[in-house]
């Protein structure tokens, strides 16, 4: 055997390099693991803290049902039915005559429901509030939840987030009863957009005799381009259950804001 100092130095060098690479791999794995865990933890923390605002629900149990819907799945292959057990774990309390649907009017509608306790949107319920504004997905063969790098609307139809909103919106519409209101946007050419969740999921579930009336509030501005005679609203009426009475009213955004800031005005007096 050759024990020359040069050979020994080289061997020591090699061993040290291998150890350094191993150490690096371990550090990367630990950091990655912690980041992934942090993702699951931060989504869970947000979920549980929003859920706790609704006192009548068992939040950890609802979180478990939620997680089961997408964890370990290809994030492009989560059908809306995957959320069935989650929806069953957090049933809606029906709120006849107070339910508010919307499409492309998220700011005006939520500003209104926040200030005035007249109507209930999906976001005012547990199912809609826990995930509002969030992104999440799983990965095949992984027990983790990811909050970045998830497929978006244009990447695939059955993506984790879209299927959630489809399923929650379907449950919300299934619970609708009596007078139902929908705030649509009068500043766009197609206030009733055939690809929207309101058109594809909710409208077909507004069945008579459970639902009596659909009152469309078409929110107008100075730049308004449509009114209640709009062609897309004609399509809406065609698709609506004939037993449900339809009504449409053009209401300016200024009037809605003025009404919601006036605590004296009763619910029925805003339009």
Binding site for ligand N1C (CB under 6 A): 101-104, 106, 122-123, 128, 132, 165, 169, 172, 196-198, 202
CB 184 → ligand N1C: shortest distance, Å?
9
Using the minimum distance from each CB to ligand N1C, give the nearer residue, 41 or 114. Answer: 114
Q: What is the helix (H) or strand (E) element at residue 6, kind and residue range?
A: helix 5-51
Using the minimum distance from each CB to ligand N1C, give the nearer residue, 119 or 172. Answer: 172
From the centroid of its chain, how far is CA 104?
14
CB 21 → ligand N1C: shortest distance, Å?
44
Q: What is the helix (H) or strand (E) element at residue 89, kind and residue range?
A: helix 84-89
Distance (Å, rounded) from C-alpha 162 to C-alpha 91? 20
Q: Return all residues near 158 (Cβ < 8 A) that are at least 6 apart.
A: 76, 77, 78, 79, 80
Using the minimum distance from each CB to ligand N1C, give the nearer residue, 195 or 229. Answer: 195
Do 66 and 90 contact (CB within 8 A), yes or no? no
CB 153 → ligand N1C: shortest distance, Å?
7
Distance (Å, rounded) from C-alpha 100 to C-alpha 176? 9
Using the minimum distance from each CB to ligand N1C, give the nearer residue, 107 or 258. Answer: 107
Beta strands in 62-122 (DSSP E): 99-103
CB 119 → ligand N1C: shortest distance, Å?
11
Q: Comparing C-alpha atoms, which of 152, 169, 158 is closest to residue 82? A: 158
Using the minimum distance from each CB to ligand N1C, give the nearer residue, 65 or 199. Answer: 199
Using the minimum distance from each CB to ligand N1C, give the nearer residue, 200 or 265. Answer: 200
**Alpha-carbon distance values, 43 to 114, 131, 132, 149, 152 (Å):** 24, 9, 12, 15, 18
CB 193 → ligand N1C: shortest distance, Å?
7
Sign of CA dihedral 190, 195, 201, 204: positive
CB 72 → ligand N1C: shortest distance, Å?
23
């Amino acid at each position: 055997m050759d024990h020359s100092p040069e050979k020994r130095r080289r061997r020591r060098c090699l061993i040290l390099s291998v150890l350094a690479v191993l150490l690096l791999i371990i550090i990367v794995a630990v950091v990655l693991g912690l980041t992934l865990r942090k993702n699951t933890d931060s989504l869970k923390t947000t979920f549980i803290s929003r859920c706790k605002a609704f006192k009548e629900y068992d939040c950890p149990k609802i979180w478990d049902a939620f997680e089961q819907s997408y964890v370990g799945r290809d994030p492009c292959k989560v059908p809306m039915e995957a959320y069935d057990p989650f929806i069953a774990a957090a049933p809606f309390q029906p709120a006849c005559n107070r339910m508010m649907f919307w499409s492309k009017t998220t700011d005006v509608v939520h500003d209104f429901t926040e200030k005035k306790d007249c109507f209930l949107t999906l976001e005012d319920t547990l199912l809609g509030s826990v995930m509002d504004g969030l992104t999440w997905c799983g990965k095949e063969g992984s027990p983790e939840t990811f909050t970045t790098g998830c497929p978006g609307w244009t990447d695939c139809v059955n993506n984790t987030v879209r299927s959630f909103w489809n399923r929650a919106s379907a449950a919300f519409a299934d619970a609708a009863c009596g007078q139902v209101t929908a705030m649509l946007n009068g500043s766009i050419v197609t206030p009733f957009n055939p690809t929207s969740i309101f058109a594809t999921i909710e409208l077909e579930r507004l069945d008579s005799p459970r639902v009596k009336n659909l009152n469309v509030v078409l929110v107008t501005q100075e730049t308004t381009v449509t009114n209640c005679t709009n062609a897309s609203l004609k399509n809406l009426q065609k698709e609506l259950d004939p037993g449900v009475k339809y009504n449409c009213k053009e209401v300016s955004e200024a009037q809605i804001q003025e009404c919601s800031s006036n605590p004296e005005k009763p619910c029925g007096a805003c339009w």
